[in-house]
Structure 1
């Protein structure tokens, strides 16, 4: 019964905890305002990007094909992934868009029957 009785000490502890939470939140607000004050100012309207004089840039659609992987001579050492870096692509002569086989979603694990 003694522990369940209202105590002035318990009220003081709860008040101090609430005061600590308020001080913590106020400190966070103060730190945030200091960081924001040190940031560069926002760009003015005249500093915003503008369209080029020719107008908007339009999308270019083209098929690209990759370079061939170098062939290893018989008895030669296999190439490492580091030797195959920067394999560029070039525009394809074909204007046909590549399509997946019929009945396949084209992705691994897509649920289709696959190429049979």
Structure 2
């Protein structure tokens, strides 16, 4: 039976082309910040939403920050939204357990994830 399969010509695997790994590409382009946000076990950024008070209070959690959390909070509060915008006036960032950020004021998960991706995380 195995001989027959060989004679019909099973499809062969396509040649695998070597590519640069993601880590080698990000090492050259990544900036050095006093903080670092490692990805979770599924490869995503650790940014989570928490909805409380029957849907009237939206919290955004950035978890497991290594390094200077205060510097991340300061930089995020100044550069996440343009100064003078309604979003910037609602933005409230607090630090929890010296490793987590809690962002209050709106539904901004996609804005925060995009901001972190632009920073190279």
Q: TM-score range by the shorter chain?
A: under 0.3
Bigger strand share: 2
Q: TM-score, normalised by structure 2?
A: 0.25
Q: TM-score, normalised by structure 1?
A: 0.26
